[in-house]
Amino acid sequence: MNIRKLSVPVNPVKRVFLALESWFNLSFGEQWNPMYHLGTLSFFLFWVILVTGIYLFIPFHGSINGAYASVEYMTHEQWYAAGVMRSLHRYASDAVVVTVCLHMVKEFASGHYQGFRWFSWVTGIPNLWMVVTLGITGYWLVWDELAQYVAIGSARLMDAIPLLSGAMTRNFVAGEMTDRFFILIEFLHLLGQPLILLFMLWFHVKRLSNVKINPPRGLAVGTLLALTALSLLKPAVSHAPADLATVPQVIQLDWFYLNIYPLLDRWTEGQAWILSLAVTWLITLLPWLPPKKDGAAAVVDLEHCNGCELCFDDCPYDAISVQARTDGRKFEKEIVVIPELCAACGICAGACPSSNPFRSRNRELKTGIDMPQLPVDRMRTITDEAIDSLTGELKILVYGCEHGFNVNRLDDSATRGIRLICSGMLPPTLVEYALYKGADGVMVAGCRYNDCHYRFGNRWLKQRFDGKRKPVLRGRADRRRIHVHGAAETDGREIQRELEQFRVQLAELKQAVPGDVVLDAGGES
Amino acid sequence: MSVRDNTLVRYFLQATGYAAFIAVIGYFSTSPAIQVISSDESVITMAFAHAGKTRKSCHRLSQEELMKLAPNMRKAEDCPRERSPIVIEMLLDGEPIYSETFQPPGLFKDGSVDIYFSKRVPVGRHLLAIKMDDSVRTPGFDHVFEQEVSLQPAHILLVSFEPLGGFSVRQ
């Protein structure tokens, strides 16, 4: 196989992420790979911040004169309990900025921000603002020199907003700061902002189904242990107490949250706002720069739908709903597709028990829910043509998807790649059919496991093949002649290696059992 | 045996991943430090709120003018609400370091102006002069302040203003 044929151009940022993911797959395994759990890790860190924050609130003294002393008491007198909690609170907050930013850049590099995904992308941006402002108000509460620096910088920024009174900065001249203002910030940090953030997070995942907000337990424990180790190695400490009659000379800045403030030494507040808002707007508008048209939405054919709800269960984007039957047939329910939510991934077609190629063999195969751009009938025809075109001794079909490795690059006299929209749209019976029609082996190479472009395509496929999810791959299909291996665009060599091993396995099998294994043509209608 | 099958190597690699993660967080949570002000600098901060004088003085309405108004709107004096802009200048050792004109805020331009100004200046003894014009009805500056001040490193000299007491400074 020509190696150049296997290498494909991928944008540099995505290439970096794919390389990172490969390394993490090696060390953490596909289940615990943190790159596949950046969103849930962010949720987990939020819970850590919440729990440690509640703990810290108990000994915290919420007043200008008492705050600093109470934080110092926690840090030094009770370093083993409240001190560790304070450090964990700080470092989990920093870590959440890292995971959220990585999450955003990864989704961007993977093209997961356009088309039907605009909603999740756009609703994620206010979350980032809320996370940062929540961190900023947290720094005020220590009321040390850093808090003073941040408070004055924040007040200058707020005063630059035309509709506000412009009087906020005057709170931070000597003798003017009051407990009333401090308690307002405390209320914002402890209650107002976290509640708003939680609400916005709910909004962010609203158009997804089967939402998971917890990372795998092992990854969560590992992350918590790592942050605890950091808390013990480098405990979070305060600067000198705030003194509004002086200017702090040196500030050890938390660059994850406070990176805008040094700009205020060189720029006006207006320029800092323009930069922040321009970046925010640019990121917000990315889904439409340029706009991307999604494929045609799935179409329901009630003639072939019995309302079994398997497609409803498998849709990753909540684009399918169930309602009472309207066509008078004996079934209780029917399926309805919500076109504006449909990702056009075809996973529903793979889930439909009517997508059985053994049915209607001499006429058009119709199924309960299908993709206009690649109907199940067309998938069956392509499969037939591919098998007929193979001349090699061991005929292998490789089903792939549009977002993983391009399986057409594996084509030779004995191998034929068939690209589907998503590997999850492959009905298990079509694999069975391919073997029955003369393929010696079938390989499925969708996206890397846990990193499906359509969230669950390759996972549902594997569960169907393993008999854990309906419609299952039937027992009569010879598992030794079926191989599933996820591969990204850059995994050409790896997929080539897997294919060669599979070919050797098939050759050994053919030697041991000469002649074709003939399957029953089950499911004929 | 491949790396995937070697548990010890995988644990080691995981530990390396976590270590890199906390190293990044540990470093950027406090570093690099920034120098907000150098040891030979001090800060002058001016902060106060002040409403300019009204642009026009009140005038007593004549009987004729009163009769033109609705009975419930009749009052002896008409006092226009619009205030004068505030012009303020600050000089240090005769050199201007701040000059600004504030238009009164509000729909009727009758609000008070919030003034906040902060600047780093060299430490030592300086002659500080502040001038403020808050009335278009009188020519020139209405409030003038001049005082020799001694500025300490990293200290803030706070300039404030009270309508009755005028400008004052404190450290």
Q: Does residue A170 carry a pLDDT above 90?
A: no
Q: Are residues B46 and B130 in the same domain?
A: yes
Asked, for residue B124, whether it belongs to a domain, the answer is yes
Instruction: Render pLDDT for A56-71 as a digit per residue (tens, 0 to 9).
Output: 999 999 898 899 999 9
Q: Quick one: pLDDT at residue A275? A: 97
Range of the domain at B103: 41-54+83-170
> Which tens digit of pLDDT belongs to each residue from A450-483?
899 999 999 999 999 999 999 999 998 999 999 9
pLDDT band at A265 (very low <50, low <70, confident <90, very high): confident
A233 touches chain B (CB under 8 A): yes
Q: Which of B33, B34, B47 sits opposite A173 (nearest CB)?
A: B47
Check whether residue B113 and residue B147 sit in a common domain: yes
List chain A residues with CB under 8 Å of B112.
Answer: none
Q: Are A487 and A69 in contact (CB under 8 A)?
A: no
Do B95 and B110 reside in the same domain of the chain? yes
What is the CATH number for B98? 2.60.40
CA distance to partner chain B, nearest, from residue A251 (Å): 5
Nearest in space to A238 (alpha carbons), one of A141, A98, A96: A141
Residue B77 lies in a domain: no
What mean pLDDT comes out for the span A298-324? 96
Q: How far apart are CA B114 and CA A521, in angstroms?
A: 85
Those residues whose C-beta lies under 8 Å from the C-beta of residue A187, and which sit 6 or more positions away, are none
The per-residue b/e assignment along A220-230, b for 16 or more CB within 10 angstroms, e otherwise, is bebbeebbbeb
Q: Are residues B130 and B104 in the same domain?
A: yes
| Contact by Cβ (8 Å): A458, A473 | no
Same domain, B45 and B18: no
pLDDT at A164: 73
Q: What is the pLDDT of residues B32-90, one digit of tens each?
A: 999 999 999 999 999 999 999 999 999 999 999 999 999 998 888 888 999 999 999 99
User: Which H or E run includes B63?
Assistant: helix B63-68
Contacts with A26 from chain B: Cβ below 8 Å: 3-4, 10, 13
Contact flag B21-A98 (C-beta cutoff 8 Å): yes
Mean pLDDT, rounded, for A92-103: 98
In terms of phi and psi (left: phi > 0; alpha: psi -120 to 50; beta: otherwise), the region of A166 is left
- Using alpha carbons only, give the angle A294, A300, A302 rounded to the nearest 5 degrees: 175
Q: Tell me what pLDDT residue A415 has.
A: 96
| pLDDT tier, A172 (very low <50, low <70, confident <90, very high otherwise) | confident
Do B50 and B2 lie in one domain? The reply is no
Domain identity same for B17 and B48: no
Size of interface A-B (CB pairs under 8 A): 124
State whether residue A260 sits within 8 Å of chain B by CB. no
**What domains are defined for chain A?**
37-242+251-285 (1.20.810.10), 299-512 (no CATH)
Side chain identity at residue A237, one-letter code: V
- Whether omega before B32 lies within 30 degrees of 0, making that bond cis, reads yes
Specify the pLDDT at position B171. Answer: 76
Residue B4 sits in the same domain as residue B50: no
What would the mean pLDDT of A258-267 be, rounded to a whole number? 93
Q: Which of B25, B45, B152, B170 to mutate to test the interface with A (most CBs of A within 10 A)?
A: B25
Q: In chain A, how many H helices and how many E strands? A: 18, 9
Answer whether residue B21 is part of any domain. Answer: yes
Calpha distance A119→A133 (Å, rounded): 22
Q: Is B60 within the bounds of a domain?
A: no
- From chain B residues 14-73, the ones with a CB under 8 A of any chain A CB are 14, 16-19, 21-22, 24-26, 28-39, 43, 45, 47-49
Torsion of CA A273, A251, A125, A275, to 10 degrees: 20
Strand partners, A337: A320
As a whole number of angstroms, the distance between CA A147 and CA A142 comes to 6
Q: Per-residue pLDDT tens for A271-296?
A: 999 999 999 999 999 999 998 888 99
What pLDDT was estimated at residue A201? 95
Contact B17 A34 (CB under 8 A): yes
The answer to whether residues B107 and B165 belong to one domain is yes
Residue B69 located in a structural domain? no
Instruction: Assess whether the previous peptide bond of A126 is cis (omega < 30° from 0).
Output: no
What is the Cα–Cα distance from A483 to A51, expressed in whole angstroms? 45
Judge contact between A450 and A36, C-beta under 8 A. yes
- H or E stretch at A444: strand A441-445
Answer whether A174 sits within 8 Å of B48, measured CB to CB.
no
Q: How far apart are CA A134 and CA A190, in angstroms?
A: 9
| Assigned domain for B63 exists | no
Does some domain include residue B64?
no
Domain count, chain B: 2
Q: Check whether residue B47 and residue B9 sit in a common domain.
A: no
d(C-alpha A427, C-alpha A424), whole Å: 8
Nearest to A449 by CA among A425, A484, A478: A484
Nearest-CB residue to A98 (from B3, B24, B48) = B24
* A124: its two tokens: 């994620």
Length of chain B in residues, anyone? 171
Residue A94 near chain B (CB below 8 Å): yes
Distance, CA of A320 to CA of A337 (rounded, Å): 5
Query: In sequence order, which residues have a C-beta less than 8 Å from that of residue A462 and are 6 or more positions away?
Result: A449, A484
Residue B65 covered by a domain: no
pLDDT the model gives residue A32: 95
A413 Cα to chain B: minimum distance (Å): 32
Whether residue B25 and residue A230 make contact (CB cut-off 8 A), yes or no, is yes
Instruction: For residues B109 and B147, state if they share a domain.
Output: yes
Q: Are residues B92 and B155 in the same domain?
A: yes
Is A516's pLDDT higher than 60?
Answer: no
A403 versus A9: which is more confidently predicted? A403
What local confidence, expressed as pLDDT, does residue A523 receive?
41
